[in-house]
Structure 1
């Protein structure tokens, strides 16, 4: 039976939706947007609310009796607040009543935290799950008076992921102006507000505010003075929502800053060189960083008579006839900037001068190299020519033991008679003592003294 009822409810909901879509296509818009249901109660609450699975939700709510009824609430009697889910045609079905303030136990974890005697029906919805995604109506019971607002209801959507925070940046951004940047995150339950962090300031103060429809928003704010360095900067803001079970759930938003600024880093470059000969074509280029882009470049030349405008455009070419100092001015809609000066040096025959200087330098290097080789070979030759010891005859002169050298020389004469006896042959043996003067090296050269050699011979007969 329950399954049949559920099937019937589902089919009926589909049919009602189909009819509504059909009528909205073929009839004027707004005809079916108005509620023609007669009601003695008017509820004021946000039309749609979103909350996070595992968190809580505050439903801002107030009510009043309609003028058609003309009755006032009787504070002497107990005022009961009732929440009903699903469509209005099931109001009388007790199964659709999910909360009654007079009951100790209810189907849904709800609590009216507002004062009903002051027409405040604000309700705390706790321990949310995705199955609580429904359309909700509110009813008041005051003794015999029972009224429900059939035209006003609340769409509550429970999501597994939190909503992303929003970053608010003023539209008109300019360099050197101060602006306030705000990061805000929806706060379904101010009892558990999200923690907001961003990359602008770590210690930004968090505050929770009430919106015009009664919902809540948590914000952090930072005031900064803009410069060209902020252009293209990415602001990153994160919102961490606490939940009943598990780690917090985080939503994040990124937004880039676009900051216009006057020209920056204006400079001049020159090609082929800042020092050229007469008649050489030189090209100068002016570069600058700006937003919006540079719309005009103006070239000036400094002279004794003052600075003179010589050209316009990003580059300036000239045939070098004389030197001078040049600079450029870059301009966009927000301002201008002047570059530093660059000196152009022009020589009569600069390349010939460079050639002569280079030739002289090469010649000096070659001469030095040849001298080094000549000295090296000379030293090598002297080392190879070592002094040769020769025996020279010396004239008699005073001699010392260090100057005298003695040697024993045996002379053998040719045998005259092979028949001579050994004794006869032994008588011809001689012992000769010779005095030899050794040549000496002096003053880097070898000198040999030609002296008469004195030889003293003594013949011993044995």
Structure 2
């Protein structure tokens, strides 16, 4: 049929039978607002319709019932050339077919070998005897491009360290006969499931779901969903990249000292705590190990000290809304500490001399902790009484001798000093002792905090 013959046929067809007034909505068509289609592929237009109550009997009597697709403008009387498809086969400017059952109000249509010239608005019309009508208020916008639109990635729930999570990737399937294939690229092992599904507007899409357990090491790592569309003998691809946002408690928490080398008493040192967390760390806390017990000494990411006594061991804790992380212990070393001495008084007024090595008194304060002397008598000589008498110790009359009684020993790595002392007996019946061999005054140099 020539072009002029087609025009004559259309004019005669549309003018015959019972006509409804143009602009009056006697037919209610339902279809998507928009379809994105690939060149060279097919496109399926989901379509259904309802006939107004006053025309239903007329519609039921219409035999046969044909479907018509109109491009750009719905008025076929004024623009009969806008008809691009008629299911009677007389007009087939666009190669296609109605796959829906018209008797059941289903006008779903598939067009093949789509080109960019198909991009336009399309209206649906029922044509038959004695009923025919167009819905001028509803159209579908067809957008044809050479490249597919990117798939969409969505996350169900919070992505948290150690908790399984599901990621969804969906891609439009304008040609259900040749749906896209979805593949994932993730920084960890996963399982996936792909399926073709119908959307609320009756269009189709492919949905791929992956389930995996994220780690804090996956934070800010990229994931990719790729859609591969078969078009003829070749494929067209589109992808969506997304950065993982993994929530986790503080990890890799560490404490550092600057300067790292041994420092002199009176100098300043800076302790810094670092940690990786998402959300970021909200609270840093510093502890000093005093004896076997950690004692909180400061808050904040940095802790500045004025060194006045022995350094000791320190560690920090970092905390956010998901938990906390603890650093390893660091040693604050003092320069020349093995040669330093500090004089203080015991609770009974006695003076002592001890080394700062091994003390755990808080840095930045003068150590006024009380220490307790430990006495360890030697085996008594045979000609001396085994009973030991104690008296006031007068350091002002102390005489140091270079004899074995003044020997020095080291206990657990700490320097101890021994001296021979005079003891004055307290009882009238107690014999005086000029020298108390084996009596050692050992001073513990670790302050009790």
Shorter-chain TM band: 0.5 to 0.7
Out of 219, 231, 239, the residue aligned to residue 227 of structure 2 is 239
Would you say 1:73 and 2:59 are equivalent positions? yes
Following superposition, the deviation at residue 195 of structure 1 comes to: 1.6
Structure 2 equivalent of residue 210 of structure 1: 198
CA contact (8 A) 2:228 2:237 kept: yes
CA contact (8 A) 1:40 1:148 kept: yes
Distance 2:211 2:23 in 1: 50
Structure 2 equivalent of residue 251 of structure 1: 238
Structure 1 equivalent of residue 313 of structure 2: 325
Would you say 1:192 and 2:192 are equivalent positions? no
CA contact (8 A) 2:62 2:128 kept: no
Distance 1:75 1:58 in 2: 28
The 5 A counterparts of 1:368-383 are none
Distance 1:264 1:165 in 2: 34
Structure 2 equivalent of residue 107 of structure 1: 93
- Partner of 2:231, secondary structure, is coil
RMSD over aligned CA atoms reads 2.7
Distance 2:310 2:219 in 1: 43
- Partner of 1:208, secondary structure, is strand
Out of 207, 223, 232, the residue aligned to residue 211 of structure 2 is 223
Following superposition, the deviation at residue 130 of structure 1 comes to: 1.0
Would you say 1:301 and 2:288 are equivalent positions? yes
Structure 2 equivalent of residue 264 of structure 1: 251
Spell out, residue by residue over 1:408-451, the C-alpha distance to the aligned partner (whole angstroms, 9 max, x if none): xxxxxxxxxxxxxxxxxxxxxxxxxxxxxxxxxxxxxxxxxxxx
**Structure richer in helix, relative to its length:** 1
Give the structure-2-normalised TM-score. Answer: 0.65
CA contact (8 A) 2:191 2:212 kept: no
Structure 1 equivalent of residue 299 of structure 2: 312
Distance 2:31 2:337 in 1: 91
- Partner of 2:75, secondary structure, is helix
- Partner of 2:92, secondary structure, is coil
Would you say 1:121 and 2:107 are equivalent positions? yes
Structure 2 equivalent of residue 337 of structure 1: 325
Distance 1:81 1:309 in 2: 82
Distance 1:267 1:210 in 2: 52
Following superposition, the deviation at residue 62 of structure 1 comes to: 0.6
Q: Which runs of 5+ in 1 are unaligned?
A: 3-35, 353-462
Give the aligned length.
317
Distance 2:62 2:134 in 1: 21
Taking a change above 3 Å as real, the CA distance of residues 219 and 129 of structure 1, as seen in their structure-2 partners, is same
Structure 2 equivalent of residue 420 of structure 1: none
Following superposition, the deviation at residue 199 of structure 1 comes to: 0.4
Structure 2 equivalent of residue 50 of structure 1: 36
Distance 2:255 2:190 in 1: 41
Based on CA coordinates, which of the two structures has the bigger radius of gyration? 1
Out of 97, 116, 121, the residue aligned to residue 130 of structure 1 is 116
CA contact (8 A) 1:282 1:320 kept: no
Following superposition, the deviation at residue 333 of structure 1 comes to: 2.7
Structure 2 equivalent of residue 144 of structure 1: 130
Would you say 1:84 and 2:67 are equivalent positions? no
Distance 2:302 2:82 in 1: 80
Distance 2:117 2:88 in 1: 24
Spell out, residue by residue over 1:292-317, the C-alpha distance to the aligned partner (whole angstroms, 9 max, x if none): 32222211112236221112222232
Distance 1:346 1:38 in 2: 96
Following superposition, the deviation at residue 345 of structure 1 comes to: 4.7
Following superposition, the deviation at residue 218 of structure 1 comes to: 0.9
CA contact (8 A) 2:61 2:130 kept: no
Spell out, residue by residue over 1:216-247, the C-alpha distance to the aligned partner (whole angstroms, 9 max, x if none): 111211123333222111122221211125x3
